[in-house]
Chains A and B, each alone.
Chain A
Amino acid sequence: MSSFPEGLKYAATHEWVRVESDGSVTVGITDHAQELLGDIVFIELPKLGADVSAKQEISVVESVKAASDIYAPISGKIVAINDALLDSPEIVNSSPYGDGWFCRIVPSDKSELDELLDANGYAEICE
């Protein structure tokens, strides 16, 4: 079964968001998403320093089975990307909420966080 940790926010497009103490947010894809994709073999990372809008494509994940777009769950500037995923994309399969994070965004409009789902709300749409 997929896991849906409490304390994270979720987009219906299967990204998660964790609000950090400095006000930035960490973004990744959910356990449910990695399960659907299966073995991930390439990741096109978000562009460091880019200004992105919510729901904008920021990354592409390629598994053996399919290619899938990843969308920014929130508007803002990308201030960090997880380079480790370039050589070891399988980390997203083994640790979607930990070492498999994609990027950190400094939000331009924190109220957008309220539009995201909580763990229960996201689990419901995955059923």
Chain B
Amino acid sequence: MGHRTPLYQKHLDANARIVDFGGWDMPIQYQSLIEEHHAVRQHAGMFDVSHMTVVDVNGADAKAWLQYLLANDVDRLKETGKALYSAMLNADGGVVDDLIVYRRQEGYRLVVNCGTRDKDLAWMQQHAKGFQVSITYRPELAILAVHGPESIDKVCSLLAPDVAASVQALGNFKALESGTWFIARTGYTGERGLELIIPSEDAPALWDKLLTIGVRPIGLGARDTLRLEAGMNLYGHDMNESVSPIAANMIQTIAWEPASRQFIGRAAVEKHRAQQEAGELPCLTGLVMEERGVLREGLRVVCTVNGQEREGVITSGTFSPTLKHSIALARIPVGSTDCHVDIRGKLIPVRIVKPNFVRFGAKVFE
């Protein structure tokens, strides 16, 4: 038996198929992955993501420490509630994890991945020496993500009128706190929506109320097809400790200025940036295959760079329920053209596109 979230019984009640996910018993799907996917693109769906890791950071040096720990700069969080996506790098410029950091009234809240919990917490402790900072893991909190065009209205219909008005007015990548509830306009689907970080004991009742007003439970299977359509990276697949953020389409999340800010991995990723400009480091891009078949993680990509045959690899691939053909993220040489994917020995042509396929229910690439 794995770890279980406070909503485990609710998943069983909704006929979930439960799988092991990083040591947690989590719902992979309820009835149909594709129907769940469409429910989020067209209406509203809810995901139990309580397996993810909430870490609160406080103390006099909280800001200075995060400026050292993260490749993005928390100085960009000019107001309370603002959120930032960042990589946490090792000294070689590999990605220890990717995370969201929110600025709070006092201190910061980080949400990091599930499978990386132990190593992340150890990494943070190890690099906190000399900083006046407290790092608090918050396992007593549940996280419910509610996404889709109708999601915000549905959640707001359950909130007190004044809180609902504030949530309706909340900008993208911003959060507010109401009592013990932390409500953020962030997510992993490419749709409007909220992530609610709440005490575990509040989660089952909220789930039931959302179910009653037509918010559909969504499993981890559709969470993956939704995030891939949105072109969002998945840790451990599209990047890991041996992959530079520069080779994982994360260059925009590195704050290079001020040049005086010494964050962990800075020297390495500066070198990687120069290597990529020289064509020596690959890039992460989107692939589209309109023929029948499905692109899968690990498949070999064959492409041409300056007349020479070169290779790359698919890091995430799926069938896109919205587009009705296959899409993938792939790490390939910079300047690649004439791309093919080796599917069971056959080289199938694919198109290279920006790694962003679907936003707000619609196709976004040419």
A interface vs B, CB < 8 Å? 38-39, 41-42, 44, 60, 62, 64-65, 67, 93
Contact = CB atoms under 8 A, between A and B. Distances in A.
Contacts of B296: 67
Chain B interface size band reads 10 to 19
A41 B294 contact: yes
B318 A62 contact: no
Contacts of B318: 64
A64 B33 contact: yes
Contacts of A93: 32
B34 interface: yes
B221 A41 contact: no
Contacts of A42: 292-294, 319
Nearest to B29: A38
A67 B294 contact: yes
Contacts of A62: 293-294, 319
Given A41-B319, A42-B292, A64-B33, 12 more contacts: A38-B29, A38-B221, A39-B32, A39-B33, A41-B294, A42-B294, A60-B344, A62-B293, A62-B319, A64-B321, A67-B296, A67-B344
A65 B225 CA distance: 10
Given A64-B221, A64-B318, A65-B221, A39 B292 contact: no
The 3 A-B residue pairs with the shortest CB-CB distance in the complex, in nearest-first order: A41-B319, A39-B34, A62-B294
A64 B321 CA distance: 9
A107 B191 CA distance: 53
A44 B34 CA distance: 20
A100 to B, nearest CB: 15
A1 to B, nearest CB: 11
22 contacts: A38-B29, A38-B32, A38-B33, A38-B221, A39-B34, A41-B294, A41-B319, A42-B292, A42-B294, A42-B319, A44-B292, A60-B344, A62-B293, A62-B319, A64-B33, A64-B34, A64-B225, A64-B294, A64-B318, A67-B294, A67-B296, A93-B32
A14 B344 CA distance: 21
Interface in B118-163: none
A65 B296 CA distance: 9
Nearest to A42: B292
B84 to A, nearest CB: 32
A60 B293 CA distance: 10
Interface string B202-225: 000000000000000000010001
Contacts of B321: 64
The residue in B296, B318, B319 that gathers the most chain A C-beta atoms within 10 A of its C-beta is B319
Contacts of A39: 32-34
Contacts of A44: 292
Contacts of A67: 294, 296, 344
Nearest to B343: A67
A19 B225 CA distance: 40
Nearest to B36: A39
A64 B319 contact: yes
A41 B34 CA distance: 10
Contacts of B29: 38
Nearest to A44: B292
Nearest to B318: A64
A30 B318 CA distance: 24
Nearest to A65: B221
Interface in B308-366: 318-319, 321, 344
A92 to B, nearest CB: 13
Contacts of B221: 38, 64-65
Interface in B1-41: 29, 32-34
A80 to B, nearest CB: 21
A64 B344 CA distance: 17
Contacts of B33: 38-39, 64-65
A42 B343 CA distance: 14
A39 B324 CA distance: 13
Contacts of A65: 33, 221
Interface centre among B221, B292, B296 (most CB of A within 10 A): B292
A43 to B, nearest CB: 9
B95 to A, nearest CB: 25
A103 to B, nearest CB: 18
